[in-house]
């Protein structure tokens, strides 16, 4: 490799890694200016890299050219619900040349596989060169993180223009039972083709208890869509700070979150999903958020088409690879 060395990541590499991460994030923000700007500061980026390094079970590799660190890769395991796993989170890698991701992974992943960790995940910025490098390591796209600005002007709740029989309103305690039913719709849908998610399905009783306790929580805005007087769908908005899946480089300041949306299968095609998404966007505008974030499984044909049509642009790609098959 002509003067290049790849070795195990050490604590002394943290500051150089932070410089690389700050540079990567600066390039990322040229395409997505709504992402948080503070991580362009290497001192702030250092906090994120240190957190990745100090995660339980973390390990990785660093690329050195001469006496200069020009790339790093860090991964750590998460809950066993993700299989025998290791995750490279949003702050878990940065390289001067995208192709070197492949060399770093070749070293770091050998240890992970030796440990029996064969389900690998990587959260990668929306950068064509980086995504291509990860794809050529056998990874594919699994999940999308996306953002958009709030609407310029909040619009009061109203009938959906293209379907006057469809209305959207704030949920009330009288909707608790149907909200519990709708809580089961999304995970059931995710378990079908072509998503095939292995997520645990809650029971109706569990969902009902949750809604009975949380329906009046002022930190969440729950909306329902009605068609001919019957509730057919729901959506929930809140502060992005409520989401553990969006943190660090992927958590814009003062952002709202479209955290959930579901429509009964027999009612799809009426425009309820889009109308519910628009209601959450309007609520975010009224709440004076600067942007709105959401995420979806890219194999979910419904959400992967609906949310981009509402103006969401993908910022990070969660990629996945299963070793051994």
Please report the pLDDT score of residue 149 as a whole number.
97
Element containing residue 153 per DSSP (H, E): none
Please report the pLDDT score of residue 2 as a whole number.
55
Please report the pLDDT score of residue 325 as a whole number.
72
Tens-digit pLDDT profile for residues 14-61: 999 999 999 999 999 999 999 999 999 999 999 999 999 999 999 999
Please report the pLDDT score of residue 161 as a whole number.
54
Q: How confident is the model at residue 261 (pLDDT cuts 50, 70, 90)?
A: very high
What percent of the chain has a predicted confidence (pLDDT) above 90? 92
Over residues 78-84, the mean pLDDT reads: 93
Half-sphere exposure of 274 (CA within 13 A, CB side): 16
165 vs 296, which has greater pLDDT? 296
Tens-digit pLDDT profile for residues 129-146: 999 999 999 999 999 999
pLDDT at residue 248 tops 50? yes
Which stretches of 136-221 are DSSP H helices? 176-190, 204-214
Question: Is 72:62 a contact under the CB 8 Å cutoff?
Answer: yes
* Residue 170, beta-bridge partner list: 223
Q: How confident is the model at residue 163 (pLDDT cuts 50, 70, 90)?
A: confident
Domain positions in the chain? 4-138, 148-312
Distance, CA of 243 to CA of 309 (rounded, Å): 23
pLDDT at residue 157 tops 50? no
Tens-digit pLDDT profile for residues 269-291: 999 999 999 999 999 999 999 99
What percent of the chain has a predicted confidence (pLDDT) above 70? 96
Looking at 3.40.50.970, 3.40.50.620, 3.40.630.30, 3.10.20.600, the CATH number of the domain 4-138 comes to: 3.40.630.30
Distance, CA of 71 to CA of 142 (rounded, Å): 25
pTM value is: 0.94
**Cβ neighbourhood burial of 79 (10 Å; 0-12, 13-18, 19+):** exposed
Tens-digit pLDDT profile for residues 175-232: 999 999 999 999 999 999 999 998 888 999 999 999 999 999 999 999 999 999 999 9
Question: Under CATH, which number does the domain 148-312 receive?
Answer: 3.40.630.30
4-138 and 148-312 in the same fold: yes
Phi-psi domain of 288 (left: phi exceeds 0; alpha: psi -120 through 50; beta: other): left
Please report the pLDDT score of residue 3 as a whole number.
82
Please report the pLDDT score of residue 164 as a whole number.
81
Structure tokens at 124: 């990668």
Structure tokens at 277: 């998404």
Please report the pLDDT score of residue 199 as a whole number.
80
Mean pLDDT of the chain: 95
């Amino acid at each position: 490799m002509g003067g290049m060395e790849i070795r195990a990541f050490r604590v002394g590499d943290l500051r150089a890694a932070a410089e690389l991460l700050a540079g990567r994030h600066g390039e990322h923000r040229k395409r997505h200016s709504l992402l948080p700007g503070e991580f362009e500061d290497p001192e702030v980026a250092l906090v994120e890299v240190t957190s990745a390094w100090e995660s339980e079970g973390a390990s990785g590799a660093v690329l050195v050219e001469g006496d200069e660190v020009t790339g790093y890769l860090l991964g750590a395991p998460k809950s066993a619900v993700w299989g025998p796993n290791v995750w490279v989170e949003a702050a878990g890698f940065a390289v001067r040349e995208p192709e070197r991701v492949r060399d770093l992974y070749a070293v770091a992943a050998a240890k992970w596989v030796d440990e029996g960790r064969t389900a690998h995940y990587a959260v990668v910025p929306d950068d064509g060169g980086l995504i291509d490098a990860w794809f050529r390591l056998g990874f594919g796209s699994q999940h999308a993180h996306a953002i958009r600005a709030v609407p310029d002007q909040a619009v009061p709740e109203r009938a959906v223009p293209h379907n006057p029989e469809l209305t959207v309103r704030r949920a009330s305690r009288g909707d608790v039972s149907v909200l519990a039913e709708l809580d089961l719709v999304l995970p059931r849908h995710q378990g079908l083709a072509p998503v095939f998610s292995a997520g645990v399905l809650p029971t109706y009783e569990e969902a009902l208890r949750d809604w009975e306790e949380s329906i009046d929580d002022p930190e969440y805005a729950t909306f329902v869509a009605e068609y001919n007087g019957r509730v057919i769908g729901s959506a929930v908005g809140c502060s992005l700070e409520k989401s553990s899946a969006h943190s660090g480089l992927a958590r814009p300041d003062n952002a709202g979150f479209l955290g959930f949306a579901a429509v009964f299968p027999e009612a799809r095609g009426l425009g309820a999903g889009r109308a519910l998404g628009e209601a959450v966007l309007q609520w975010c505008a009224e709440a004076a958020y600067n942007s709105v974030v959401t995420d979806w499984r890219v194999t979910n044909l419904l959400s992967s088409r609906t949310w981009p049509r509402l103006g969401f642009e993908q910022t990070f790609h969660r990629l996945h690879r299963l070793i051994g098959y």
